[in-house]
A and B are shown apart, each in its own frame.
Chain A
Amino acid sequence: MNAPTRPPITPRGEEKVFFDHLREHELVFQRCAGCSHAVFPLRTVCPHCSSESLDLERAAGTGTVYSFTTQHRASHPFFAADAPYTLVLVDLDGGVRVFANLVDCPPDDARIGMSVEAVFDDVEPELTLLRFRPASAAESTAEEQS
C-alpha cells in the first residue's frame, strides 16, 4: 500500500501571499493604513474600516499560547505517525492570533500562557508550514530579568 499523501491546500490570492512569505521564513500580517489595526489572515479589505490599503508587516514570531489541544488521533492518514500531536493558537506579540502546531514540547508540558517562538518547517519543496516551540531558555531568562 502506498503511503498516504499530504492533503493538498490551495491558497488563493491573499492566502498565497502568506504562504509565499512562509516559504521565505517570514511570518507576515497586515497593518491597515486607514485605521492602524493589525489584520490577520491577510485581506484585501480591512474588517475594521473597509480600507483597501493594507501594508504587510513581518512578525517577530514570538508570542504566548492562547489555547491548545493535544489530538490523540490524526485528522488524516498522512498525520497518523505524528499522533499524538499538539495544536496551538498563539497570540503573536504583534497583536494577531495564528494557528499552528506546538513542537519540541511534550504534551504534558503545554500550558496556556507559555511563551513560544515561531519555527519554519520546510515540509516540501514548495510548502513551508508554521510551528511554534517553547521560547528558548536564554530569552525567557532575559525577560524575567527585564
Chain B
Amino acid sequence: MSIRGTSAIVGAAQLDTFKTDGKSPVGLMAVAVNRALADAGLTLADVDGLFTASSYYAFPTLTLAEYLGIHPRHMDSTALGGCSFIAQLGHAAAAIQAGLCDVAVVAYGSTQRTDAGKLVSMAESSPYEQPYGLIHPIGAFGMVAQRHMAQYGTTSEQLAQYAVSAREWALLTDTAPYPTPLTVDEVLNSGVITSPLHKLDCCLVTDGGAAVVLVSAERARDLRDNPVYLLGSGEAVNHRNVSQMPDLTATEAARSSQRALQMAGVTLDQLDTVHVYDAFTISLLVLLEDLGFCAKGEGGAFVENGNLAPGGSLALNTNGAGLAQVHPGMLGMFLIIEAVQQLRGDAGRRQVPDARLSLVHGMGLTLAAHATAVLSTHPEA
C-alpha cells in the first residue's frame, strides 16, 4: 500500500508575506485557511483534518481549531521545525487514505517581522550549547560554512552567488520585498554576522500566513481541473542539537529525498521545478549536494555563473524563496505554495513552461530534520 498519487492539493493561499497589518500568527493562519478553502471551493464546515506547527503555540492545532471554531476529527502537530508542513503533506495523505479525515488543511502563520526580527522560539535550549552564547540558528550555520570551506574550498563569493540568483528570481514576482538586483560585492560587504556568513547570506525576516487543502485524488478531480497530486513523500532525521551533528557538511536529506522520489517513481532529471529550503546560502548549498543535484563538495561551483538564476540549468526556488521573497521563521509552507503555483501554471513572469513535476525539500532547525515531497500535475509520474 502506498500513498502515491492518492491525494491532491486543491486549495492554496498565502498572505502578508512581508509584513502583516496587525494580524496575530494564528490570525494569519486562519485567514490563509479560509482563502485556501475558497480556492478549493470548500468551506470550514468541510474541514475534518487539521495540521499545523508553530514556534508560537505549544499546542498549535488546538489553538487554530479554537480560533476557527471548528472541531476536526484528526489533528497533527508534528514538530520538525521549518519542514514540518512538508512532512504533514504525507501525513495528511495517509490520514485521508486511512479514512481518518476527508478534507485536510495544513496551515502556518508567523509575525516574525512584526516581532522586530527576534526569533520566536519556545524550544528548550541545550545546556551543552546555550551557556556558550550560540545564536540559533545562524551560529550553527557559521560552523557548517566554515567546515564546508575548509573541507571543499567553498568560497564566500560562491555562497553570495546563490543570494544574487535568488534575488533575480524574486524580481520576476510582483511581491519582491527588495525589488532591485543584488551583486556579489553587496553580499560580501553586508557585514559578517557569524564568520564566515554575512548579513545577506541569511534569509529575510518576514511575516506570513499560508495554507493548503488536501483531499483524495477522486474528490480532487470533482473540485477543480488542475489538482496538484502528492506523488511521493519522505522524511529523515539527522540530529537535534548541532553539537551532535555527525558531519557538518552532509545530511540525511539524501535519504528523505530518495524515499520521496522512490515512492513517486521519479528521478531528478525529470523534475521541472525544485524548491529547497534556503534559510542561509550555505544550508541551500549543503542540501543541493545531499539531494544529488551536484556531487558532495561541488556545491560552490554549482551555484556559480548564474546556474541557479532564471535561465540557468535548474529552476530552483523560482520566487526567490527565503533569501529574497519570504521567510517567516519557518519556510516549508511557502515552498509548497510556490510549487503549487508553478504546477498550476499561475507563476506569471517566472513560470517554468509546462511545469509538471516539482520537488519540495525542507529542513528543520540546523539541518536536523528533513522532509521531501514530490508534487505533480498528474496522479501518475
Residues of A within 8 A of B (CB): 6-7, 9-11, 15, 18-19, 41, 66-76, 79, 82, 85, 87, 89, 97-101, 107, 112-113, 127, 129
Given A69-B142, A71-B139, A89-B143, A99-B128 contact (CB < 8 Å) = yes
Return chain A residues, CB-CB under 8 Å to B133: 71, 74-76, 79, 82, 85, 87, 101
Interface residue total, chain B, C-beta cutoff 8 A: 30
Contact present for B139 and A98 (CB under 8 Å) = no
- Which of A69, A89, A101 has a CB less than 8 Å from the CB of B243? A89
B144 touching A67 by the CB < 8 A rule?
Answer: yes
> Do A112 and B243 touch (CB < 8 A)?
no
**With a CB–CB cut-off of 8 A, which chain B residues contact A67?**
143-144, 146-147, 150, 248
Please tell me if the beta carbons of B130 and A73 are within 8 angstroms of each other in the complex: no
**Centre residue among B191, B192, B242 by max chain A CB count within 10 A:** B192
Contact B129 A99 (CB under 8 A): yes
Instruction: Give residues in B with beta carbon < 8 Å to A.
Output: 125, 127-136, 139, 142-147, 150, 191-197, 242-244, 248
Q: Say whether B129 contacts A69, CB under 8 Å.
A: no
Give the Cβ gap from A130 to chain B, nearest Cβ, in Å: 8
Among the listed B129, B146, B242, which residue makes an inter-chain contact with A112, where contact means beta carbons less than 8 Å apart? B146
CA distance A67 to B147 in the complex (A): 6
Cα-based distance from A123 to B112 in the complex (angstroms): 33
* A to B CB contacts below 8 Å, 7 in the list: A7-B131, A15-B127, A66-B147, A69-B143, A71-B133, A73-B194, A75-B133
DSSP majority for the A interface?
Answer: mixed
| B135 A71 Cβ-Cβ under 8 A | yes
Besides A41-B128, A87-B142, 20 more A-B contacts (Cβ < 8 Å) are A7-B130, A9-B125, A9-B130, A10-B127, A15-B128, A67-B150, A68-B146, A69-B194, A71-B134, A71-B194, A72-B191, A72-B192, A73-B135, A75-B135, A85-B133, A89-B243, A100-B132, A101-B132, A113-B150, A129-B131
Chain B CB count within 10 A is highest, among A99, A113, A129, for A99
Cα distance, A89 to B247, chains bound together (Å): 11
Complex contact B127–A66 (CB within 8 A):
no
Chain A residues with CB under 8 A of B125: 7, 9
Q: Is the CB of A72 within 8 A of B194?
A: yes
Q: How far, in Å, is B375 (CB) from chain A's closest CB?
A: 35
Q: How far is the CA of A112 from the CA of B194 in the complex (A)?
A: 16
